[in-house]
Amino acid sequence: MVQPPSPYSSSGAGAISPLVALQATLQQMREQSDANALIQLTLEYVKAVFGAPLIWLAFYDYQNHQLLGQGGFSLVEEPTLLRGVHPLQPGEILEQVVIEQRPISVPDLSQEPRMGLWQREARRLGGIQGCFIYPFSAAGRRRCLGILMLGSQMWGVTTREEEKALLGILLGQLAASLQELENAWRQQSEKRLEDSLLRLGTAICQAGSLQERVSLVRQELQTCLGAVHIQVYWHERSRGRFVPHGSASRPSQPPTPAPMSKEAKAGAASPGDGGLSLRELGDMYYTLADGQVVVGGTGTTRSEIPLKLMQQLRAQAALAAPILLEKDLLGFIWVQSDVPRTWQAVERQLVAAAANGLALAAPLENLDRRIRQLADEQEFVQQVGRSLYNPAELPQALQQAVVGLGQRLQASAVAVLTVDPDRPNPRLFSEYRSEGKQALPPQFSSLSEQDWQDLLRSEVVAAENYNQDLRLLSWRQELAPLGVRSLMLTHTGASGTATPEGLILVLHPRPRAWSREERQLLRGTAQQVGLLLRQLRSQQRQERQEHLLSGLIATCLTLQNLATPEALYATIAQQAAQLLQIPLALVVSWQPGESRACLQPPFAAAPEFCPSGPTEINRQDPLLAAALQARGPLLLAQDQIPAASRAWLNSVGLGSWLLVPLGETDPSLPEPLGVLILGAEADRVWEAEEQAAVTLMAQTCGWTLRRLLWVQTLQERQEVLSELNWYKHRRLLDLQNALLDGLRRLGQVPGIRGDEATRWQKVVEIGRELRDLAVFAEPLLQTETWQVQPQLLSVPLATLVRKSLRRVEGLTQKRKLWPRAHGDLSLVVQGDVGRLEMILWEVLLAAALRSPEGGRLDLWSQATEGYAELLVVDQGSFDPHLLTALQWDPQQVIYADPLFQSPLSASPGLELGLCQRLLQRMGGQLSFYSSGDGRSVARLLLPLAGKELRPPAVASGGQGPQQPKQGQQGQRPAI
């Protein structure tokens, strides 16, 4: 790749094969237990085989996102560059290689700005141009372990596949060996940590003074951590500094550091001189006070220790563990190294354990007196705070806190007021009153902006003489009847809170001064009461959300399972009203493309809430238009309802409205098919959770409604196409049979006896019949391409029976059936003649196929109540599942679940069910049943000519007409 001629490309007898050299190197690497030896073997092999003028091996430090140089070879001796720390910057090629873990070639290193320091050093290193960077990682691990960089003095030189394979095998073995060493080191470190902690705990317990304990801790840490410098700093609050242990003592001087600038020398102090100020520690102080161990280094990008502090203490890497007792930062242990290094988790744990040991042993002067003082001052406040741990008793705890505060302050009344961002007026939540005092009003006027600023700035507003005080003037109307002469007011939030949860008001009947201790007691109690209020609100909000969630799930599941739009409208109105506990819910709906909307029956808690206006509404109504144009739920007060909309939305006693479209208002989605309107009292506040729940319900209803309309439209369309397909198929089959019969008869004309005129007359007769077939089929082809266009005409029943029997004549002869017609066949019926013929043909065909060979096929007819009743009786047996399916309501069959497989989904049930629905649309009826003696009966009710067409009455449950009694089966089925 890098610098021809390559050693392994030589063809001389003394050339060493790269594979042979690789085998020897891998064998040596497997036998090594030292990481430095592994690195040296890797670099020597790369130098011997590739002969590159620049070879650099670096490990990746994941925690600090940097590369740690492990050495290499270059034309110019540069140990600092090859063994230095190289932070990775966003967008650099080295960072790209580490993250993506794939090799990258750089044509010209000196011209590539994304190579950072290497671009600037390329010329000084011997004019390096072409560069190849190869990452490596351990098997089964996603994180990159390091990279190998090879440089060439030629421009654009790339690496061959053989060279990549050699590098992959070599670096894979290096990663595997390093992984084994790391695993062994971790096991030893864990054991060493346990031993160190045991020795450290024993030493701290046996030491007699703090000086001895600190000395033992430093010695143990020095033994475990190696060449580091350790110091213990104590926090002196009076001076605001952290001073070294012993104050005047110095830590051991570190070795001579690297050269520093004059400014750095002037600003650097010896470690321990005067200690460290809080300003010098910066954010590190707050991290330590939070009980966290901080680490840092001069060459890292994620240092938690200020860089100036690192330079001041002349540290290349540092670690600090807090000495913390009861959340009080007593000091910290400082560990620093003069060389860059990464602090392992075991080392952090060891230093943190040592700091905890010193915290337990630190001298705490006057501890008993301080504890008694704090216990006496905060006994009451802590008692209030402890009630937070029992959520079931939060209201009682809040009341006890109010009573206890009033008694300690000897106040006439103490009130806890809640502040809601949606309601400007504070409301009374809890109160304490001394005997005989007047009750406080349930609601107070809103505070002025100046009063809020004073309260948030000073935290406690105290009026020693309220009558002469200019603050809280907006409450004079509420407080004057109570005889208040002095008061204190504070908020329940923490310091700096912009929106507190509540207020605590302390009232006194006489002018008085409020001491500092009383204000502190009020402030401390207020903060605990704020936690109680927050907990109560959180508990109430959680219960409310759980109620909304359970109701929302039940409602959405119910809406998805409904089958009619009317049920959808009624259900969503009822569920929304009950879920939100509001007096009125209603739906305004419309069909796609229609200009008129319909006001569906509302769900109201009382009759007076129901609108009394018209139920048909223009879709351009301004209220509906505003609801559809809004980006979310539309909130309106009663005076915001347009005048035109009040004509139909005229409920009495309601003043707050919430409107949500039934669907999405996004123009790219189908438009909503209605609006859900919710009405409540004027002071109702619609919470965000409620709006979200109602929106989801409305969207679920909208999509369910659209799905129902889609399915109904498709089912109706399928019904029309199925009827057309069946009818046209039957007509074509009939036309084919008639055409074949005419051709057969035409072929028999020459054999007719008689003269030529007789035979020509027969030909003309057959020709007329064939012409009639074409004329009869012409309307079907012209008017019923995609839609059913029935032609209602009158036809004798005898003609229908005769033609139908003729169509099944071939089948009856084949099965040796005996068809007979009985009764009054002179009746004249009306309907689409072609369809009536096909229906009767389908019924006779099914009966003939069902009948046993040699059986009878009887047709009985008579007139009854404006209909011609025709019974087709055969001696076959019906499939019980098919017979049950044929009793269903025809409309139920049309809108049935398309995934449900029933006997009506295949022949003969498919054709018979279609005939049922077709005959019903022509004002007749087709039903099937089995007689008592085992015969099957098909009953057709055909409207008589001159009768108004309407479907006949169907027995309850959609079961068809009543079946005949068994006693009447001897002669014929009963009518």
Tens digit of pLDDT for each residue in 274-299?
A: 588 878 888 888 889 888 999 987 65
Nearest to 936 by CA among 820, 849, 806: 849
CA atoms within 13 A on the CB side of 185: 13
pLDDT at 447: 87
β partners of residue 337 = 317
Encode pLDDT of 767-782 as tens digits. Answer: 887 777 776 666 666 6
pLDDT at position 1: 52
Q: Rounded to whole angstroms, how far apart are CA atoms 384 and 403?
A: 11
Q: Quick one: pLDDT at residue 233?
A: 92
Given pLDDT bands bounded at 50, 70 and 90, which one contains residue 375?
A: low
Question: 78: pLDDT confidence band, cut at 50, 70 and 90?
Answer: confident
pLDDT of 369 strictly over 50: no
DSSP-assigned states of every residue in 716-755: HHHHHHHHHHHHHHHHHHHHHHHHHHHHHHHHTGGG--S-
**Rounded Cα distance, 152 and 51, in Å:** 9
**Omega of the bond leading into 908 within 30 degrees of 0 (cis):** yes
User: Which is more confident, 764 or 915?
Assistant: 915
Q: 3-state DSSP call for residue 779?
A: helix
pLDDT at 391: 66
| 562 vs 185: which has the higher pLDDT | 562
Answer whether 54's CB lies under 8 Å from 60's CB.
no
**What pLDDT score was predicted for residue 607?**
85
Confidence of residue 571 (pLDDT cuts 50, 70, 90): very high
Contact 257, 314 (CB under 8 A): yes
Which of 621, 659, 658 lies closest to 642 in space, CA to CA? 621
Q: What is the mean pLDDT of the chain?
A: 80
Q: Determine what percent of the chain is predicted with pLDDT higher than 70.
A: 85
Q: Which of 949, 757, 932, 691 is nearest to 836 (CA)?
A: 949
pLDDT band at 387 (very low <50, low <70, confident <90, very high): low
**Residue 868 CB partners (closer than 8 Å, separation 6+):** 797, 827, 829, 861, 862, 941, 942, 943, 944
Provide the token pair at 644: 């035109």
Burial class (CB in 10 A: 0-12, 13-18, 19+), 639: exposed
What token pair was written down for 693?
Answer: 């729940």
Q: Give dist(CA 278, CA 401) in Å, integer.
A: 38
Average pLDDT over residues 898-920: 82
In this structure, are strands 828-832 and 792-796 parallel, antiparallel, or unpaired?
A: antiparallel
Q: Any residues with CB less than 8 A from the CB of 939 and at least 6 apart, and which?
A: 869, 870, 871, 925, 926, 927, 928, 929, 960, 961
Q: Which CATH superfamily is domain 545-714 in?
A: GAF domain (3.30.450.40)
pLDDT at residue 540 tops 60 = yes
Q: Which residue has the higher pLDDT, 335 or 255?
A: 335
pLDDT at residue 974, rounded to an integer: 31
**Domain limits, the chain:** 7-185, 207-253+267-364, 380-539, 545-714, 790-968
Question: What is the Cα–Cα distance from 157 to 63, expressed in whole angstroms?
Answer: 34
Residue 512 has pLDDT above 70, yes or no: yes
Determine the pLDDT at residue 959. 36
- At 794-821, the pLDDT tens digits run 899 999 999 889 888 888 989 889 899 9
Check residue 537 and give its pLDDT: 82
pLDDT at 334: 93
CATH of 790-968, one of 3.90.226.10, 1.10.287.1040, 3.90.190.20, 3.30.565.10: 3.30.565.10
Contacts of 141 (CB under 8 A, 6+ apart): 179
For residue 624, the model assigns a pLDDT of 92
Question: In CATH, what is the architecture of 7-185?
Answer: 2-Layer Sandwich (3.30)
- DSSP alpha helix (H) spans, 362-460: 367-386, 394-409, 449-458
pLDDT (mean) for 66-87: 86
256 CB contacts (<8 Å, ≥6 apart)?
none
Please state, in angstroms and rounded to a whole number, the distance separating the CA atoms of residues 450 and 321: 46
Give residue 389's pLDDT band: very low, low, confident or very high (50, 70, 90). low
- Using the predicted structure, report yes or no on whether residue 975 has a pLDDT greater than 50: no
- Domain covering 207-253+267-364: architecture: 2-Layer Sandwich (3.30)
Q: Does pTM surpass 0.75?
A: no
State residue 947's pLDDT score: 64
- Other Cβ atoms closer than 10 A to 898: 11
Q: Give yes or no for residue 966 having a pLDDT over 70.
A: no
Decide which of 896 and 868 is more confident.
868
Identical topology for domains 380-539 and 790-968: no
Average pLDDT over residues 963-972: 36
Distance (Å, rounded) from C-alpha 66 to C-alpha 84?
Answer: 10
Question: In sequence order, what are the beta bridge partners of 73?
Answer: 55
**217-233, pLDDT tens digit by residue?**
888 888 888 778 999 99
User: Per-residue confidence at 81, pLDDT binned at 50, 70, 90?
Assistant: confident
Phi, psi for 83 (deg, rounded to 5): -115, 10
Q: In which element (H, E) is residue 584 found?
A: strand 584-589
pLDDT tens-digit series, residues 854-877: 888 999 999 988 899 999 999 888
CATH number of this structure's domain 380-539, picked from the four choices 3.90.1170.50, 3.30.450.40, 3.30.70.260, 3.40.50.1980: 3.30.450.40
Output the pLDDT for position 738.
Answer: 79
Whether the predicted pLDDT of 676 surpasses 90: yes
Predicted local confidence at residue 615, as pLDDT:
86
Structure token digits, residue 341: 């290094």
Q: Is residue 836's pLDDT more than 50?
A: yes
Closest CA to 294 of 282, 308, 277, 279: 282
Residue 251 binned pLDDT confidence (cut-offs 50, 70, 90): very low
Q: What is the rounded average pLDDT of the residues 692-697?
A: 92
**CA pair distance 677, 576, nearest whole angstrom:** 10
Is the pLDDT at 247 greater than 90? The verdict is no
Question: Average of pLDDT values for 543-561?
Answer: 88
> Helix, strand, coil: what percent of the chain each, to 5?
45, 20, 35
Q: Which of 6-15, 424-433, 582-591, 755-764 has the lowest average pLDDT?
A: 6-15
- Sign of the torsion angle spanned by Cα atoms 533, 534, 536, 537: positive
Determine the Cα–Cα distance for residues 474 and 465; give it in Å rounded to an integer.
Answer: 16
- For strands 131-136 and 146-151, give the pairing: antiparallel
Q: What is the dihedral of CA 149, 153, 157, 162, to 10 degrees?
A: -60
Confidence bin at 2 (pLDDT 50/70/90): very low
What's the CA gap between 714 and 720, in Å, rounded?
A: 10
Does pLDDT of 670 surpass 50? yes
Q: Express each pLDDT in 412-457 by its tens digit.
A: 899 999 888 777 788 888 888 887 678 888 888 888 888 888 888 8
